[in-house]
Structure 1
Amino acid sequence: MLTHPTLDQLRALRLDGMAEAFLELQMQDATAELSHPEWLGLLVDREIASRDTRRFQTRMRAAKLRHIGAAIEDVDFRTPRRLDRALFQQLATGRWIADARNLMITGPCGVGKTWLACALGQRACRDNRTVIYQRLPRLFADLDLAHGDGRFPRLFRSLVKADLLILDDWGPDRLTAGQRRDLMEIVEDRHDRGSILITSQLPVAAWHDVTGEPTFADAILDRLVHNAHRLELDGPSLRRSKEPTEDVDEARRA
């Protein structure tokens, strides 16, 4: 069999997974006993796996998660922080995203809100869903600039089209009039169409005051909270509970 021309043709067709599998099978003596359908099946399986991996990597790059190594398989349920294991495992299935429901993760600093949000975001990327992660203070600053330089329509479309929008670090500063308007537009366009995950040190009951103007606050929170799951964490900071030599491990859960 002409190995090199075949590899060149597979790569020219952008079938890189099949090319890699073809080369590996050629080097294994045991594969000489495989039938042609079995050979083809192995090549196709590798190509599918390769494309799935590339799509996942593309989604992860677009998501820009703060903790890219966060994964639901690594969630620590032993640490006392009132993490509802049954609810989190239900959330890990991704059904809430398919149903366009929201999720609120609240609790004091250091209990792992952002890490848990990123773990769910990573799982959504693995499930072939689009994800965008934004720290809310930075997003508001970017939206403000976008209004002035013409980028707002494009930025707004990206925020409302993603299957899951993660807004990290709600509060404690009160929203300005412009921030209220922008948040209202995002929440309104995503309502019943896409999921929003919000993390905050403040309990949900305090979000009305942080939003500011009562009419906007009622409209925004009604759309955010009425169909939302809640993870209400509590406990000491995971950062302070570790020795300095364990800081690297803890950074993955913070």
Structure 2
Amino acid sequence: MPRRRAVEEHENHERWLVSYADFITLLFAFFVVMYAISSVNEGKYKILSESLVGVFSQPDRSVKPIPIGEERPRTTEPSVSQVDEPAADSLLEQNAGDPLQDIAQSMREAFGELIANQQLTVRGNELWVEIELNSSLLFSSGDAVPSDEAFALIEKVARILAPYDNPVHVEGFTDNQPIATAKYPTNWELSAARASSIVRMLAADGVAAGRLAAVGYGEFQPAADNATAEGRARNRRVVLVVSRNLDVRRSVAGMGANGRSGMQTAPTAAR
């Protein structure tokens, strides 16, 4: 029996067209979707454009905060009263001079004759003013009881100092001649007693007591050589140190006359 020959299957050479057609369909769908997304509603676009232009070009249509309480008009110009009429305190501060300079000038005017005779000295700098008085103007030798002339002199000093608030540090100094009495065992007690007497007189003549302090240095801070009579006379002195403020007074108290002498400056110095 003859063998049956197998029938060859027909090969489809146009199968690629199916894939191509699917690709074209997907591509068409893609472009349709892209067009749908990119299409603009001209009417809505025009309304949106006009709204934005109105917001950014017209201040009265900008967003304003919700006012709370009474709304007051604001202005960028300062009020006339603030510019043309400064406060009274500011005027006083501008017109007020430096207290230390005023005190030094008043002392020079009031005691010009004593300054010329080198019995009183006014000197200082921007931190303090020193009024140095020879002890012979105020006390008898070896005593701390003020003389009659001392009361009139200290009264004039007090009238100058009383209107100000600056602290006043009164310092007493002696020569190196020893003293040994029941009242003043050493020169320390004598110098301190003399400073205290001046403090009491200033307070009695109107200078606020809270501004005042007294200290005695004895013979240990001489201004001149104790080997001569002139030097010893110069060393017997009382110095009123008028400080700019309380902190300066404390530093002045710590350094004494010799410490200050190295810090003298010319602007307010006068002899």
Does the pair score TM above 0.5? no
Higher relative contact order (CA 8 A, sep 6+): 1
Larger helix proportion of the pair = 1
> Given the two structures, how large is their TM-score scaled by the length of structure 1?
0.31
> Given the two structures, how large is their TM-score scaled by the length of structure 2?
0.29
